[in-house]
């Protein structure tokens, strides 16, 4: 569990904390969708979809900014060993991976809600 905590902070608090909040919102919306299966709510599925896509783009944006900053440091320092470069690339991908996970959770929620709604009809 401590490894996940370390990855969370290594991904950068400016991107990981909002991503975590987005994940919580998506989970709440999916649970709300399951609780209201019998009611017609045309807004929930598109909202989950949009927020999930935003999480994906937010993660990619975090990676791009991390890479930009890393390339600045490489330019300043000059010669960088390949192991240091690989470590920096790995850290830059943390926010993107988290964004993809959130996107997949939102997609699974949408698929599940759609399937259960169609099954009830």
HEC secondary structure over 62-119: HHHHHHHHHHHHHHHHCCCCHHHHHHHHHHHCHHHHHHHHHHHHHHHHHHHHHHHHHH
Q: Does residue 42 belong to any structural domain of this protein?
A: yes
- List, for residues 28-72, the tens digit of each pLDDT value: 999 999 998 878 778 899 999 999 999 999 999 999 998 888 888
Confidence at residue 6, expressed as pLDDT on a 0 to 100 scale:
85
CB atoms within 10 A of CB 25: 16
Handedness of CA 70, 73, 74, 80 (dihedral sign): negative
Tell me: the pLDDT tens digits for 60-104? 999 999 888 888 888 888 888 888 888 888 888 999 999 999 999
Q: 86-107 burial, b if ≥16 CB within 10 A, otherwise e?
A: eebeebbbbbbebbeebbebbe
The pLDDT tens digits for 12-24 are 888 899 999 999 9
Residue 4 domain flag: no
Domain coverage including residue 69: 13-120
In a domain, 1, yes or no: no
Domain count, the chain: 1
* In-domain check, residue 8: no
The pLDDT of residue 86: 85
Q: Is 82 contained in some domain?
A: yes
CA distance 49 to 109: 9
Contacts of 66 (CB under 8 A, 6+ apart): 12, 91, 92, 95
- Its pTM stands at 0.89
Handedness of CA 90, 57, 20, 110 (dihedral sign): negative
Is residue 94 included in any domain, yes or no? yes
- Say if 77 falls within a structural domain: yes
Q: Supply the pLDDT for residue 87.
A: 85
Question: What whole-number distance in Å separates Cα of residue 84 and Cα of residue 78?
Answer: 13
Within a domain: 34:
yes
């Amino acid at each position: 569990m401590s490894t996940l905590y370390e990855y969370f902070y290594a991904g950068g608090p400016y991107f990981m904390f909002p991503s975590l909040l987005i994940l919580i919102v998506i989970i709440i919306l999916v649970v709300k969708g399951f609780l209201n299966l019998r009611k017609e709510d045309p807004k929930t599925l598109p909202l989950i979809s949009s927020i999930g896509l935003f999480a994906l783009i937010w993660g990619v944006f975090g990676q791009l900014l991390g890479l930009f900053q890393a390339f600045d440091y490489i330019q300043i320092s000059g010669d960088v060993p390949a192991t240091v470069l690989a470590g920096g690339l790995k850290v830059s991908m943390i926010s993107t991976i988290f964004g993809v996970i959130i996107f997949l959770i939102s997609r699974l929620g949408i698929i599940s809600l759609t399937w259960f709604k169609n099954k009830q009809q």
